[in-house]
Structure 1
């Protein structure tokens, strides 16, 4: 049974438990019996093809939601960091065979909540949690729609600029960081890493962008500036 203060403090900051009091969260944890599981770096939290019955809260670490094509090439669907929630759509949909896998990219700790226990829970915070779950699913849908917009661009340059412009809007300025390494960025945008590296170098030479590691600047010359 989990009701330690450290988890309550973390859960209060998540979308799923927004506007719930500590008392409501503690009652929920006591009556729905979530479990904490530990995963080593490079291990799989969810396996592709497996059944998913639990909503997962990443309490520590970082993981990638990935999908492999028929050739074995890896595509990153999304990155999950501490405090993020994942697998909620799969659990809600009652998916028998997950189309994606979730892999730990560093040691991870995950709080797992059985969706069936949420449905049968009768505590005072239930309606808030269900409303928050709808909000969470809607936000994930917007995220995936934005990603589709990026990867549907015709050229590597257009894909990169589309993604960088989204990051610019999120950061509120032309300087921003990305949560991916260059290899992971290529996997996220479904493009060849070597070709992407060449294009990034060309864009830098042309004055469209500048970058140092994961920090980027998108310039007015790129044409994606309001």
Structure 2
């Protein structure tokens, strides 16, 4: 596990813990490592689990999909990010999401239930870890709240502008990269890819944005300009 320490140190779950404490915790929660190839499933909807995952390398998509293959992307997790923790923290909870490798990756599984009972080794850092877990869960709620804000908009244009504006604020810059390719962005915003591409082209022609693949630059304008061009 020592080779994963650089990633683990940067994870909010291990905030405030030194290397020895992190390694002790990994032992406490029965940490295991698996490798997954791109497009393979890590969790499937309908399963239950006591394990939450941490992306040690690569990235994964947290998705919902129906029987006809329609995909709704809830979030994208990069190295250092967690997934599955709300389900792992509630015994017997059935997953209504799936987690799929977006590229070849390594996943560290942690048994959350070991955190929610008295630590068998009475480690002093146990309470720190629980506080960090609460923080991780709270951040996940905020991420989902952002998605609800975007998809709650009435039009494809409004959804795009809501998402791009939020990303600009998050990066503290009008120029930024987004974590999705075009199909993934359409799946995340719950819109048709062709309709989305049309709106992106319109926004470029109207001078609101510049874009190249997953890089966007927003051109500042006032609200009346936006209303005029709708």
Give the TM-score normalised by structure 1: 0.93
Structure 2 matches for 1:20-39, cutoff 5 A?
A: 20-39=17-36
Show the counterpart of 2:10.
13
Show the counterpart of 1:60.
57
Question: C-alpha deviations, 1:152-176, integer Å up to 9, x for none?
Answer: 0000000000000001101112111
Show the counterpart of 2:227.
none
Q: Quote the Cα distance in structure 1 between the aligned partners of 2:87 and 2:64.
A: 14
How many pairs does the alignment contain?
221
Question: C-alpha deviations, 1:57-110, integer Å up to 9, x for none?
Answer: 110111101101354311111001111111111111234321000000111110
Show the counterpart of 1:116.
113
Change beyond 3 A, Cα 1:31–1:138: closer
Structure 1 residue ranges, 4+ long, deviating more than 4 angstroms after superposition: none
Give the TM-score normalised by structure 2: 0.91
Deviation (angstroms), 1:15: 0.7
Does structure 2 conserve the Cα–Cα contact (< 8 Å) formed by 1:14 and 1:83?
Answer: yes
Which of 79, 82, 87 in structure 2 is aligned with 1:82?
79
Show the counterpart of 2:126.
126
What is the alpha-carbon root mean square deviation over aligned residues?
Answer: 1.5
Runs of at least 5 residues in structure 1 that lack an aligned partner in the other structure? none
1:51 corresponds to 2:48: yes
Q: Quote the Cα distance in structure 1 between the aligned partners of 2:205 and 2:142.
A: 33
Deviation (angstroms), 1:52: 1.8
